[in-house]
Amino acid sequence: MITGLLILSLAVGGTQALARLDVAAASPQQPAVDARPANDPNQKPAAAGQTDAPERGSSVAFEVVTVAEGLVNPWSLAFLPNGKMLVTERPGRLRVVTPEGKLSEPVSGLPELVARGQGGLLDVALDPAFAKNNTIYWCYSEPREGGANNTAVARGKLVDEAAPRVDEVQVIYHQSPSLISNLHFGCRLVFGRDGTLFIAQGDRSITEGRMQAQKMDSLIGKIVRLNTDGSIPKDNPFVGKEGISPEIWSFGHRNIQAATLHPTTGELWEVEHGTRGGDELNVARKGKDYGWPTIAYGIEYRGGQITGGIQSQAGMEQPAYYWDPVIGPSGMTFYTGSLFPAWKGNLFVGGHATNDLVRLEVQGDKVVGEERLLKDLQPKPERVRDVRQGPDGAIYLLTDSATARLLKLVPKK
């Protein structure tokens, strides 16, 4: 079913020429987009513009169209070449969705998973050569002995028939060690330009997992990089290093639920959840340490300092940008389409905690402006779980609830 809801993005400052961005970003007359106080007002960013970017309206009028509804806690969206879409539902179902919004029966053939807490069926992605091999990849929480579990990735050949299924299923990745936790699985799957697969994960939340984000023989709190068959690329940063897992691309991550490639540089950008404050936007570079839990912005959920209460340390990367208070980021995409020329090059991030869509104006590795969209979405504000650019140039969103929707943003007619 397709219904239209008009949303008008109100102008705040108008579209600025790139040459004026730095001046505008530094202007004290422009308020930050989020008026809520920081959880720790005594913390200071390591660099100017690292947080609280000025609010910058884009004067773009658009409609929000409901493409499909009746989804149960959907998590991820991928576009098939034939115009259909794949949508994962966290309870463990993969659906094929037609352009008209019809949901298929659950795709059969997926391996067993555990759907508790934040676990279940998570990200889905098409093989770069899908047109030739029909192969898809999906990320899920895998049950192990003794009540433990871990993040895992499988692949299989999609058979899109009346009763859809996946054949020739292979589990190509098991996060280790397995822990007893129903939290912080991650997970996002992103193919690099060279065809390798990035798997962005979480720290499992519990103290044992949190501390392993800095342990190099552990895959917890890491982004790993694999070949499509699960083998390890020879140019991974820690291949051949004793005591270090060769799958690791970068480390010191908390809980990554958003990742995408930069359209110009091809670098992997990711956004990870902080605690009370400290959601981070990072450029995930080869072999780098992003600090968790040694350094962090924000405070613990129950109050008090995180680890030693420090925000910087030599040898650890600073976030390109951070939020305090948080947005609860989930899903992100750089916009490269032609439907919204004013948004070209902007980064869109789902606000799972703030029930909105966050638009970031980016210059190099820096955020120079921010706008919050969809706060007045009807019939009610909804959590945003995934954000994708469709092949038609529209921006597609998955909301997250037991009665969730697949939406798309298109120009106002």
Q: Strand order of the sheet with strand 384-389?
A: 3-8, 61-71, 404-411, 395-399, 384-389
DSSP category for residue 33: S
Instruction: Give dist(CA 22, CA 68) in Å, integer.
Output: 41
Residues 6+ apart with CB under 8 A from 258: 188, 270, 271, 272, 329, 330, 331, 332, 349, 350, 387
| E strand or H helix that includes residue 212 | helix 207-212
DSSP category for residue 23: H
| E strand or H helix that includes residue 281 | strand 279-283
CA distances from 351 to 60, 101, 229, 369, 399 (A): 19, 24, 33, 16, 10
Q: Catalytic: 273?
A: no
For residue 145, the SS3 value is: helix
Instruction: Give dist(CA 400, CA 402) in Å, integer.
Output: 7
- The one catalytic residue in 184, 253, 273, 352 is 184
Instruction: Give dist(CA 359, CA 396) in Å, integer.
Output: 14
**Terminal Cα-to-Cα distance of the chain (whole angstroms):** 19
Active site residues: 184
